Amino acid sequence: MCEPRYFDVRYTINPWMSGDVPVDPARALAQWQGLVETYRSLGHTVETIEPLPGLPDMVFAANGAVVVDGRVLGSRFHAVERRPETPAFEAWFKAAGFDVREPEFVCEGEGDLVPAGRVLLAGTGFRTVPAAHQEAQEYLGIPVVSLHLTDPYFYHLDTALFVLDDGRETNEANVAYYPEAFSPGSREALERLYPEAVIATREDALAFGLNSVSDGKNVVVPHGATDLTARLTERGYQPVPVDVSEFHKAGGSVKCCTQEVRTV
Ligand code: ARG
């Protein structure tokens, strides 16, 4: 995770960033610290990367890479403003002892590449390009399922879908998603893959409910996604609501702030 020391909204690269409500830096920091504490209280290890001045979106560490079984595919950002983040994330992984593959095509890490047990769900339409999906499959050696995003408010796959359970124990992964964020064909593909999925409403999705992080049991979920939270409880999950609303002004929430380092 990356402390929001330089977090701000200074350019517009998604519809959430066009609002003129200024960011409250103290509130952003307190909310981010609350998220770190939440993970630690659930027993997870949190490591941090040093934020860099002039990179207001670097707090969204999910976009820096995707890690599958200890293999790191780095990032190549669509927006020129975010491109200098790539070498910083790469340096962090190298210092931590990982090899990093630099993608040749636009590829925004876990924003669009979502490991779901036996497959990698891969979003395209706004940021990550289909050629990067192929690159991810070749480098990570995991079958890729390409999904088309069609609503600019849900510009990254991780704003429209999250993995509830990667199937490590049950051998069957499950997800929660907002169907209308996807093209008709991608929606059908998701229905076939995940007949038991938790379906979210537009309100939940707009409250960043699909930008949650699940460990298979606890689901750290943005606090405004109330219907989704109720559905998760019904399904036997333990929702852990957190308020990270300052980050919504930049189009990110819980998951965007969280890079999951999946080692073997
Ligand atoms: N302002 C950032 C951008 O548009 C937000 C990134 C959110 N991250 C995510 N994983 N969806 O690139």
Q: Give the global pTM.
A: 0.97
Examine residue 192 and state whether it is found in any structural domain, yes or no.
yes
Place of tokens 């930049």: 250
Percent of the chain whose pLDDT exceeds 90: 96
- Tens-digit pLDDT profile for residues 175-200: 999 999 999 999 999 999 999 999 99
In this structure, are residues 81 and 57 in contact, taking their beta carbons and an 8 Å threshold? yes
Collect all residues with Cβ–Cβ distance below 8 Å to 28 and sequence separation of at least 6: 4, 7, 59, 246, 247
Q: What is the CATH number of the domain that holds 116?
A: 3.75.10.10
Q: What is the per-residue pLDDT for 168?
A: 80
- Tens-digit pLDDT profile for residues 94-127: 999 999 999 999 999 999 999 999 999 999 999 9
Q: What is the per-residue pLDDT for 20?
A: 82
Q: Is 44 a catalytic residue?
A: no
Mean pLDDT over each residue of the chain, to the nearest integer: 97
Examine residue 65 and state whether it is found in any structural domain, yes or no.
yes
What's the whole-number mean pLDDT along residues 223-238?
Answer: 98
Collect all residues with Cβ–Cβ distance below 8 Å to 165 and sequence separation of at least 6: 172, 173, 174, 214, 216
Of 133, 156, 223, 248, the catalytic one is: 156
User: If you take atom 1 of ligand 1, which residue's CA is the nearest one?
Assistant: 250
Q: How confident is the model at residue 159 (pLDDT cuts 50, 70, 90)?
A: very high
Q: What is the per-residue pLDDT for 112?
A: 98
Separation of alpha carbons 21 and 19, rounded Å: 6
Q: What is the per-residue pLDDT for 162?
A: 98
Buried b (16+ CB within 10 A) or exposed e, 51-75: beeebbbbbbbbbbbbbbeebbbbb
Examine residue 16 and state whether it is found in any structural domain, yes or no.
no
Distance 57 CA to ligand 1 centre (A): 7
- Tens-digit pLDDT profile for residues 32-48: 999 999 999 999 999 99
Please check the confidence at residue 62 and state whether its pLDDT lies above 90: yes
Q: Which atom of ligand 1 has the smallest separation from the CA of 108?
A: 10
Please check the confidence at residue 169 and state whether its pLDDT lies above 80: no
User: If you take atom 8 of ligand 1, which residue's CA is the nearest one?
Assistant: 256
Examine residue 231 and state whether it is found in any structural domain, yes or no.
yes
Sheet of 119-124: strand order equals 113-116, 119-124, 144-148
Examine residue 19 and state whether it is found in any structural domain, yes or no.
no
Residue 147: domain span? 25-257
Separation of alpha carbons 32 and 194, rounded Å: 32
Please check the confidence at residue 60 and state whether its pLDDT lies above 80: yes
Examine residue 237 and state whether it is found in any structural domain, yes or no.
yes
Collect all residues with Cβ–Cβ distance below 8 Å to 145 and sequence separation of at least 6: 119, 120, 121, 122, 189, 193
Place of tokens 């079958």: 143
Helix/strand/coil percentages in the chain, nearest 5: 35, 20, 45
Count: domains in the chain: 1
Q: What is the per-residue pLDDT for 15?
A: 96
Examine residue 18 and state whether it is found in any structural domain, yes or no.
no
Q: How confident is the model at residue 19 (pLDDT cuts 50, 70, 90)?
A: confident
Examine residue 5 and state whether it is found in any structural domain, yes or no.
no
Percent of the chain whose pLDDT exceeds 70: 100
Q: What is the per-residue pLDDT for 181?
A: 98
Amino acid at 234: E
Nearest to 48 by CA among 114, 109, 104, 3: 3
Distance 252 CA to ligand 1 centre (A): 5
What's the whole-number mean pLDDT along residues 152-178?
Answer: 94
Please check the confidence at residue 170 and state whether its pLDDT lies above 90: no
In this structure, are residues 122 and 146 in contact, taking their beta carbons and an 8 Å threshold? yes
